[in-house]
Chains A and B, each alone.
Chain A
Amino acid sequence: MNYEELGLRVGIEIHRQLDTERKLFCNCKTTPSGGGRIIEFTRWLRETQSELGEIDPAARFEMKKMRRIIYRADTECTCLVEMDEEPPHMLNEEAVRIALTVAKLLGARPVDEIHVMRKIVIDGSNTTGFQRTCIVATGGRIVIDGFEVPIQTITLEEDAARIVESTPTHVIYDLSRLGIPLIEVSTAPVITSPEQAVKTAYALGKILRATRRVKRGIGTIRQDLNISIRGTGIIEVKGVQELDLIPKIIDYEARRLRHLLGLMEELKKRGITPENIQAERPVDVTDIFASTTSRVVSRKISEGGRVYALRLPGFCGLLRSIDDEGVRLGKDLSEYAKAWGGVEGIFHSDELPAYGITQKEVEAVASRLNLKPIDAFVLVADREREVLEALDAVKNRAAEAITTVPGETRGPRPDGTTFYMRPRPGSARMYPETDIPPLIITQSLLEEIASNLPPTLDELASSLSKKHGLSSQLIWELIDSERLEEFEELVGIGIQPGFAASFLTEGYKELRREGYPVDEVEFSKVKEYFELVVRGVTAKESAKQVLSYLSRNPSSSVGEALDKLGLRAPPLEEVVEQIDRLIAEITSEQPHSDPTGPLMGRLMKIYRGRIDGAFLSELVKKRLSALRNR
C-alpha cells in the first residue's frame, strides 16, 4: 500500500510502569503478590458537569451505561488512597527522578514546576473518576534512520485499575495496579509508515529501559497509536502490548480508513444525506421471526426479546467488504451496536440470507420496510431497550458515514485488526489536583541527574559483552527479551555467565516452542532454584526440567519440584561410595587404562541433573588421587 499517497500520519504514546518502591501517590508497594485480605465495595461514578454545561462524548458513553462498579482491594498493596477514601500523598520523588532521567536522555526540557492534574475518566478504572497525571518535561527528539521524530511531552501518571469482569450491568476492577507510576512519552504525529512507527516504538523503549528502572513483563508496557490518513478523523488505538502488532494495526487502520473514505464518496454519489438516515425509525418485526430457524433469534425471542429492523436508505452493497478482506462497514456498525446497546451483534441485509435466516424472512422484512433495491437494512434481536439503543447507535454511525470518517477510540485484536471501543474524548477535561501542591524542580536536582545518567543500552551491551566474555548478539538477545536484569541477578549469585545467558534466552525459547508457559513462572522461583544449584542441592543441568515443571504447576514450590522430579543431590558420602565402587569395577575390567573417562560417563548417567558435572569431576579426581596414594 502506498502510505505516502494516503497521507498516513501516526503518533505514538508509550506507557511504561516504573519500578519504584512505592506507588505514585501513596506508600503502597508496586509489586502486588496477592496475599492480603480482600475487600469488595460498590460505587457509581457521575460525570462532573463542566461550567460550560456540555457533556463529553466519551463521558456520555459511560454514563449511558450507568453500570455498577465493583472494586476489589487487596489490602496488601491497596490502601485508602486507591479506594479514594484518603487524599493522595505527595508526588513520589523517586518516580520524578526516573522521568527526569528519561527527559535528559531524550533531550527534553523539564518544566520548572510540576502541576498534578485530574483527567476525567469515568469508566471506573480510576476510583476517583479521574486519572492523576502531570507533565514533567516537554520537547526533545529521537532520530530514526536520520529522520527526526519530535517528542511532545513526557508525563507521569498513575496506572489504572485492572478490569476483571465486565457485563452490561456491572464491571469489576482489581485495585492492585491502580497508582503504580507510569511514564508516558508521546511523539508528534509525524510518522509516515508502519515500519517507521515500530522502529520509533523500539527506540523509545530502549531509552526507557536504559534507566534500568522500568518494570518488565506482561502488562507493564502499553502503546497507544494515533492514526489518520488524509481526510479522516484521528483513530486512537489503545493499549497495544506487543511491538510486532504495531505495523499490522497501522496497515489495517490505513486500509479501513481508505475504505470508509471510498464509501463516503459512493454515498454522496448516490445522493444520500444524513437527514435521510436520521428520519428512519426502527420497526418491530418480531412476528416475521416467530418460527425462525435462526438459533440466535429464536433464543432471544424465547427469552422475551424483540426483533427490530432499521432501513438504511442507499446503503445496499456498502455494508460488506468491497476490496479488502476483513474491512467492512457492517462490522463497524455491529461494534457500535455492541458498545452502545450491549447487544450481541447485528445482522445486515448484505450478508443475508444466512445464519438460519431465510430468504423468505428477508423478503418479508424488506416488504415491511418498503425497501428499495438500493437500500439496506439492519436487524437486531435482544431485549427491547437494548435493541433500540443499539439501532440508535447504528443509525447515528450510518448517518455519519456520509459526511465524515469519524475519530474513534479503538482496541487492538491479537491478529492486528481493531474494534470500536468508544468515542474519542472531547478536548481533554483536565483540572488541577488541588490536594497536591506543585513540585519545584530545582537546578541542583537536574545537575545531579545529569551527572548520574545511565549508559545507553548500546554502551551497556558492549561493556557487558566484554566483562562476561559473551557475544554481543547474546547480550542483545537478553536485552530484547527483557531478561538482562535476571541475567545479572543470576551471575550475581555465582552462576556462570555463559550458562545463565543461554538458559535465559535459548532455554526459555526452546521450552516456549514446546508449549510450556515459561514466561508465567515468577523469576523469584527461578532464582531460588539457582541458589540451590550454587549450594549443591541440585545441578544446573536440571534447569530446563525444573522450569518446565514449574510452568505447568504454578502453585508448586521449587523444593516440591525437585522432590517430584527426583533432582535432589544425594548425600556426599553416598556419592563417594558410588565413585569408589565404580572405580573398583572399572579398574577390574580394564586394569591398565585411565578410569576417568568411563567413570565420569557412568556417574553422569546416574547423577545427571542432580549433581553438577564440574563438581563431580573434581570429586572423581580427588578420589582417584586418594586411591593412588594409598
Chain B
Amino acid sequence: MVESWQGYRGRVREILLAAGLDIGDEVEVVKPDGEVYRGYLMSRYEHAEDGYIVIKLRNGYNIGIAITEGVVIRRVGPGPKPAFKRPEPPKLDPNLPHVSIISTGGTIASRVDYRTGAVKPALTSEDLITLVPEIAEKAYVEAEILLSKFSENMTPSDWDKIAQKIDEKIRSGYSGVVISHGTDTMHYTAAALSFALAGTPIPVVLVGAQRSSDRPSSDAATNLIAAVQIAAYAPFGEVVVAMHDWHSDNVIAIHRGTRVVKMHTSSRDAFRSVNAEPIAYLRNNELVLNDEHYNKRGSNSYDYRPGFSDEAALVKFYPSLSPAIIEYFLERGFRGIILEGTGLGHVASNWIPTLRKAIEMGVFIGMTSQCRFGRVNMYVYDNGRDIKRVGVTPLEDMLSETALVKLMWVLARTRELEDVRRMMLTPIAGELGYRTLPSSMRPEQT
C-alpha cells in the first residue's frame, strides 16, 4: 500500500511535499497553457482518483485540478487562520436531574470547519451544550467519551464495557443515562444492555442519528434532546432507544431495547418496534406513555449481570441452504444457534438429521422467524412438528437479533442445554410476549 498524505498518494504527494505545502496553504497552480488557478490546498478523498489536487477557490468552491506534465504548483503562503471564538455555553443548573451522556461512537454533535470541510465532534460537556443548548434547560448533563467506534465494529466485549460504565452511573445516583451510538447495530447493543442491566432503576436511553450532525437538518439534536428528557424525567427504568417516529421532527418514539430493529437504511424513522408498541412517544416535547407495563423508575429489581459468550450464532435460512452451515458452527465449538426460519418457523426437511445431531451434542437450537412480525408455531405443519420433535426450541415472538444477544448472554451463564432452554424462554427484559395484537405494523401515517 502506497503511503498516503491527506488523501494524496504517489507522484502528486511527492510534488506537494516538495513544494513545502500544508493543507490550508494558499497555492498557485499554473497549467502548461498558462491558465492560473489560485486557492487553498484541500485534503483529498481517500478513494478518489490519483493525479489531481483539490483547491478551494476564494468564492468557497472546491475544484479538482489534474496534475499533468508541465503543471507548476507554487506555495503562495499560509492560508488565513481566523481567531477561534466559541459562543459562551449556557449555564448548567445543578438543581435539575443529573444525566450522564456517554458517547460510544457516531457523532451526536459536531462543528464544521468551513475552510477544510473537516467535521469536528463535540468532545466535552461544554462543547455539547454549546451546540445543543436546549439540553441544559432539561438536565444537568455530564458528557464523556467511552468508545469511538463505528457501530458495525462493536463486539460483545464492548457491550460489557458500556454496561459496566452505566452500572457505575446507576450506583452513583444519576437520574438517567444517555448512550450515543452509531445506528447500524444500536438495536443489538440495546438488547444486550437490556439483559445486562435488567430491572435498571433509571432510564438508559440509546440515541443516534440517521443524518450526520454536520448538517442543519440532522436528526441528532432532536433525538438527543428527547433522550435527555426521557433520561431525566421518564417514569420508567428501562433500556430504550429514542429515535424519530416518522419523517417529521416533532415525534420521537421510545422503543423498548429488546423489541426494536433498524428497518431502513437511511430514513429518520429507521427504528421500529416489532411485535410490540413503543413504550412511549415524545410529541412536541411532551411525554405520552403508550404502555403501562414497564419497570418503574426507582424499583429495586435491578440485577446487574454483564458477560456475553461469543459461542452463539444467527443463521438465516433460505431455499437450498445446505445444513453444512450448521456443521461448520459445530466444528468451531459453538454452543448455540438461532435459526431464522421461514414462516411459522421452518427449515428444509433435509436439515433434520443435522439439527438432531447438534442437539444431541448439547447445542441449543432456537427458532425465530424471518417474517419479522408474528409468533413462531411449529405445530401447524408436519415439517414444523418434525423439527420441533428433534429438540429445536421455538422462541415465541422474540426478534432474531434479540434472541441471538440473549443466547450470548445466557451461554455466559450456563452451558447446560436444559438450563439454556429454560432461560431462553423466561422473560427477562420484555423480550417475550404471549399476546400478539393486531396491526403491529403501523399503518401509513399521513
Contact = CB atoms under 8 A, between A and B. Distances in A.
Interface in A102-160: 109, 111-115, 117-120, 122, 127-130, 133-135, 138-139, 152-153, 155
A42 B65 contact: no
Contacts of A53: 84-87, 111
Interface string B47-74: 1110010100101111111100000000
A415 to B, nearest CB: 33
A39 interface: yes
B59 A428 contact: yes
Contact of B214 (A43, A48, A87): A48
A80 to B, nearest CB: 6
Interface in B112-127: 112-115, 117-118, 120
Given A49-B111, A135-B61, A128 B215 contact: yes
Contact of B62 (A112, A115, A139): A115
A193 to B, nearest CB: 26
Given A44-B222, A153-B59, A51 B113 contact: yes
Given A43-B248, A53-B84, A85-B266, A114 B117 contact: no
Interface string B382-422: 00000000000000000000000000000000000000000
B60 A48 contact: no
A46 interface: yes
Given A51-B84, A55-B87, A113-B66, 9 more contacts: A50-B111, A51-B120, A52-B114, A54-B85, A109-B35, A112-B52, A129-B215, A129-B216, A431-B113
Interface stretch (A241-249, A433-441, A576-584): A433-441
A51 B114 contact: yes
Interface string A77-101: 0001001111100000000000000
B49 A428 contact: no
A48 B215 CA distance: 6
Contact of B111 (A51, A84, A130): A51
- In the A-B complex, the 8 residue pairs with the closest CB atoms: A129-B216, A113-B64, A428-B60, A51-B113, A430-B60, A112-B66, A53-B86, A115-B62
B265 to A, nearest CB: 8
B64 A111 contact: yes
Interface string B76-113: 00000011111100000000000000000000001111
Contacts of B112: 48-51, 431
B5 interface: no
A45 interface: yes
B75 interface: no
B45 interface: yes
B259 interface: no
Contacts of B35: 109, 139
Contact of A122 (B131, B216, B248): B216
Nearest to B214: A48
A112 B64 contact: yes
30 contacts: A42-B248, A42-B249, A43-B217, A43-B249, A44-B249, A46-B216, A48-B111, A48-B112, A48-B213, A51-B112, A51-B120, A53-B111, A83-B247, A84-B211, A85-B210, A113-B52, A115-B63, A115-B64, A128-B217, A133-B61, A139-B35, A432-B42, A432-B62, A434-B45, A434-B117, A437-B48, A438-B48, A440-B49, A440-B52, A440-B64
B267 interface: yes
Secondary structure class of chain B's binding surface, majority of residues: loop
A47 interface: yes
B221 interface: yes
B63 A114 contact: yes
B216 A42 contact: no
A510 interface: no
A145 to B, nearest CB: 28
A50 B87 CA distance: 11
Given A40-B446, A41-B246, A129 B65 contact: no
A611 to B, nearest CB: 51
A48 to B, nearest CB: 5
A457 B366 CA distance: 74
A72 B66 CA distance: 43
Contacts of B118: 51
Contacts of A46: 216, 218, 221
A109 B33 CA distance: 12
Given A44-B249, A113-B52, A86 B267 contact: yes
Contact of A85 (B62, B84, B247): B247
A428 B61 CA distance: 9
Contact of B266 (A39, A87, A117, A438): A87
Interface in B245-300: 246-250, 265-268
A427 interface: yes
Given A41-B248, A437-B45, A438-B45, A52 B268 contact: no
A267 B30 CA distance: 50
A230 interface: no
A440 B314 CA distance: 43
Interface in A483-528: none
Interface in B429-446: 446
A429 interface: yes
A48 B64 contact: no
B54 A115 contact: yes
A427 B57 CA distance: 12
B247 A117 contact: no
Nearest to A152: B59
A428 B57 CA distance: 11
A84 B217 contact: yes
A246 B112 CA distance: 38
Nearest to B445: A39
A112 B32 CA distance: 14
Given A111-B63, A437-B45, A47 B267 contact: no
B111 A129 contact: no
Contacts of A109: 35
Contacts of B82: 52
Nearest to A71: B247
A431 B117 contact: yes
Contacts of B210: 85
A52 B81 CA distance: 10
Contacts of B62: 115, 117, 430, 432
A195 B118 CA distance: 45
A135 B248 contact: no
Nearest to A51: B113
A118 B62 CA distance: 10
